[in-house]
Amino acid sequence: MTTVITEFKQPDNIRSLAMIRTRTVVGVAALPVMVEVHLANGLPSFSTVGLPETAVKESKDRVRGAIINSGFDFPAKRITVNLAPADLPKTGGRFDLPIAIGILLASGQLPEVNTDRFEMAGELALDGRLRKVSGVLPTALACASAGRELIVPQGNALEASLAQDSLAWQSDHLLKVCKHLAGKGEMQTCKAHSLKSRRSISYPDLSEVKGQTRAKRALEIAATGGHSVLFIGPPGTGKSMLASRLPGILPSLSVQESLETAAIQSVAQGEFDVQSWQQRPFRSPHHSASAVALVGGGSHPRPGEISLAHNGILFLDELTEFSRAALEQLREPLETGKIDIARASQSVQYPARFQLITACNPCKCGFYGDGTARCQCSPLSVESYRAKLSGPMLDRIDMHLHLPRVDLKTLQSDDPDAETSAVVKRRVSDARDLQLRLRGKLNSRLSGKELETHCHMTESLLDFLASACEKLNMSARAYHRVLKLSRTIADLNQEPDVTRAHLLEAISYRSLDRL
């Protein structure tokens, strides 16, 4: 080890200032940070400035241990580390590596190199090993855009390789990074990861759902246009079964969508799985989840379930058991596809373009309307139970569907004509391709002006729709939801114009508007 140390020491050419580039993650954006290390005469001390949080302040002990145990000398000087810009909050252990390299450069233990072409991030163990950190994918994408090389821990190598245009290096120890910078050794590059997931998920098949033909048709329409759904029915009618089969009939994510989703999972600690990064997310939080767990937040804002479900599905089972305050938080993201989290120290924005699938019982006991006499709930109790869901929240759900009880004969019989998920997926993919080719987006995301352009209807049809909306007391938002559903049904049938049949079917899926 002693011979290694002397390779780097240059006592006759002591410098006092070094600057290393890195990044901090705010939301899903990796913002540039310059780590400035200055060594001055005086009593030995170590101070870190530039809005560091606790984990960053504690880096001085990790860096000291890593430098000493890697065979270098820790300078007995007054060390000041500035993380610029000073008004940008810094979190996590990702600054350990650039701080350590900065100290070694400033003390002359590393020869002077052009560090401007590098960016680095990594947490140090006390023995000098590098530990993986969160947020490496956004960092790699931003680094590639800036035209710089990135140095990351070995545990983040596959994640960094997803940024196809980046040149990323991986290392498992501080000493190897030093050798690479000094030109006395070379680290391994992060091998380009295949654009396809290494692990495929086998979803339950739609053909396994007995009966519920109308509900399966509604699920296909929802998958085609990206519409939100509320399944209402007694226990055992197949609400959760249908929801769990939705991912199996959705088209695969594009590379751009996969990167967007993976970037969110990368900044959420413990969530990112590079082996299945191109799979469409399916999130199903328990009904005890808080508002912060659903939409994100905290003193240092983290993404919530709606962001982790970006480009995928958020399934809320037992919808009426969620707290009303938590559900009301979903109203804005359902409309805008993003969530803004404001705190005193900072404001961040996370994407949240998810497909909402919900399920609930019709009453407190669950058996209202199942064709038996088991339900003893009074009309007032039923109304009180349904009142847990606010009108504005229900208004934002495109489809409300009551699921009848499935009789035993249907459960016991085999249906050889039952369509598999693969057959339905082909129809959904064809209809989605049509939407994207003609309109550039899914029907659920069309604005009011775009609906006027793409939903051509005769005067008689417009009068019919106006009359139906008036009789059902539909809001303006519900009116537009019906138009979007009608457009999706027409696309699924490969028909250019919306017809009366399409409107009737779309209106039939707004069952709660008729109560």
Start-end of CATH 3.40.50.300 domains in the chain: 206-441
* Span 420-449, pLDDT tens digits: 999 999 999 999 999 999 999 999 999 888
Task: Considering the chain, tell me which residue range(s) the CATH 3.30.230.10 domain(s) occupy.
Answer: 2-189
**Contact at 8 Å (CB) between 229 and 239?**
no
Helix (H, G, I), strand (E, B) or coil at 140: helix
CA distance 37 to 104: 10
pLDDT (0 to 100) of residue 36? 97
Tally Cβ neighbours within 10 Å of residue 107: 25
| 3-state DSSP of 247-307 | HHHCCCCCHHHHHHHHHHHHHCCCCCCHHHCCCCCEECCCCCCCHHHHHEECCCCEECHHH
Backbone angles phi, psi at 72, to 5 degrees: -100, 170
Q: Are strands 355-360 and 313-316 parallel, antiparallel or unpaired?
A: parallel
130: phi then psi, degrees, rounded to nearest 5: -100, 130
User: Which residue is it, tokens 């900044």?
Assistant: 267
What's the average model confidence in pLDDT over 458-467? 90
What type of residue sits at position 390?
A: S
Spatial contact of 222 and 357, defined as CB atoms under 8 Å apart: yes
Which of helix, strand or coil describes residue 2?
helix
pTM of the prediction? 0.89
Cα–Cα distance measured from residue 234 to residue 75, given in angstroms and rounded to the nearest whole number: 71
2-189: CATH, from 3.30.230.10, 3.20.20.80, 3.40.50.10070, 3.60.40.10:
3.30.230.10
Strands (DSSP E) contained in 172-247 are 188-189, 229-232
CATH for 206-441, options being 3.40.50.300, 3.30.365.10, 3.30.1440.10, 3.40.50.720: 3.40.50.300
Distance CA 124, CA 101 (A): 11
pLDDT recorded at residue 12: 45
Quick: pLDDT tens for 108-163.
Answer: 999 988 889 999 999 999 999 999 999 999 999 999 999 999 999 999 998 898 88
Total Cβ atoms within 10 A of residue 231: 26
Question: In b/e form, how buried is each residue of 74-97, taking b as 16+ CB within 10 angstroms?
Answer: bbebebbbbbeeeeebbbbbbbbb
Q: What is the pLDDT of residue 391?
A: 87
- Each residue of 250-266: pLDDT tens digit? 998 988 999 999 999 99
| 8-state DSSP, 245 | T
288-337 tens-digit pLDDT = 999 999 999 887 888 999 999 999 999 999 999 999 999 999 999 999 99
Identity at 241, one-letter amino acid code: M
Q: Which residue has the higher pLDDT, 483 or 198?
A: 483
pLDDT at 183 over 80: yes
CA distance 207 to 280: 21
pLDDT at position 356 is 97
Question: Of 267, 223, 162, 222, which Cα lies nearest the Cα of 397?
Answer: 222
**What is the mean predicted confidence (pLDDT) over 496-514?**
88
Over 60: is that where the pLDDT of 40 sits?
A: yes
Amino acid in the structure at residue 310: H
How far apart CA 139 and CA 150 sit, in angstroms, is: 9
Q: How is residue 7 written in tokens?
A: 């390779």
Does residue 472 register a pLDDT over 70?
yes
pLDDT of residue 13 exceeding 50: no
- Give the chain's radius of gyration (CA, Å): 28
